[in-house]
Amino acid sequence: MDALYFLKLGGSLITEKHRASTPRLDVIRRLASEIAQVRAENPALHLVLGHGSGSFGHFAAKKHNTHLGVSTPEQWQGFLEVWWQARALNTLVVEALLQSGLPVIAFPPSSTILCQDGHVVRWEIEPLQRALNAGLIPVVYGDVVFDTELGGTILSTERLFIELIPYLKPSRLLLCGQEEGVWADFPLRQRLISHLTPDNLAEVLPALAGSEAPDVTGGMLAKVHLMLQVVRQYPSLEAVIFSGEHPNNLVQALRGCAVGTRISL
């Protein structure tokens, strides 16, 4: 296969993060158009898309503590609420992508993944691989999953990407969110780290206190640690955290231009 990128559209970017279940439809449509533009320029570029749940899934998940486990009837009702919210946002995202002419097909984690104590133990990925090989664009998203020990839990899009890396071997992992990248002085936002490595992580750790809105998957701190873990395990992989708020930023990232914070060894 030619170049393969994993691209996540962050939940705080595609939803109003302080208002429950409120999509930013204009942003979603613009991002879809930018992806379609680059795909038209470079048909050899293959993508696996993912998106967060933003104010859809995270508000419901925080209310019910779904990520900590599910056992009571009330908790299972909460599990269903989170599932429905994640699915509702996915429908909006997929619709926008299809309207931009992108050949996308969704793979809901809740119906394809089984976990044990929060760790993926089974994921039938052959259908996703076949979609990719057929020139389609698989779409995954942060979702509830069943768990043999916890009953149920939640997997973030980053976690899903990490599970797929050894099978699909992408060259780049792009995290398109609200923030310009990783700040050395959050929340002042005056010193952006252009290149983050295990060696300069200590410089930004004090500023990585998490996100400003409900996010049960850990916010920026969790993202940075996950990306550093990934590049240590897969040294040829580059991760990039950048903002999708500015028109054309996503286009530049997909073209390989320098935007945001690059994370590598």
**Nearest in space to 198 (alpha carbons), one of 231, 222, 170:** 231
Cβ contact 105:137 at 8 Å? yes
Dist. CA 263–CA 265, nearest whole Å? 7
User: What would the pLDDT profile of 231-242 be if each residue is shown by its tens digit?
Assistant: 999 999 999 999
The rounded Cα 154 to chain-centroid distance in angstroms is: 13
Higher pLDDT: 202 or 51? It is 51
Model confidence at 223, pLDDT cuts 50, 70, 90, reads confident
Half-sphere exposure of 43 (CA within 13 A, CB side): 3
> In sequence order, which ranges of the chain are alpha helices (DSSP H)?
11-14, 25-41, 54-64, 73-99, 126-133, 157-168, 201-204, 219-233, 249-255
pLDDT tens figures, 33-89: 999 999 999 999 999 999 999 999 888 888 899 999 999 999 999 999 999 999 999
pLDDT digits (tens, 9 = 90+) for 155-179: 999 999 999 999 999 999 999 999 9
Q: Tell which CATH classification among 3.40.1160.10, 3.40.50.1820, 2.40.160.60, 3.60.110.10 matches the domain 4-263.
A: 3.40.1160.10
Q: What residue spans define the domains of the chain?
A: 4-263
Q: Is the pTM of this model over 0.85?
A: yes
Identify the pLDDT of residue 59. Answer: 85
At 216 the pLDDT is 52
Buried b (16+ CB within 10 A) or exposed e, 106-117: bbbbbebbebee
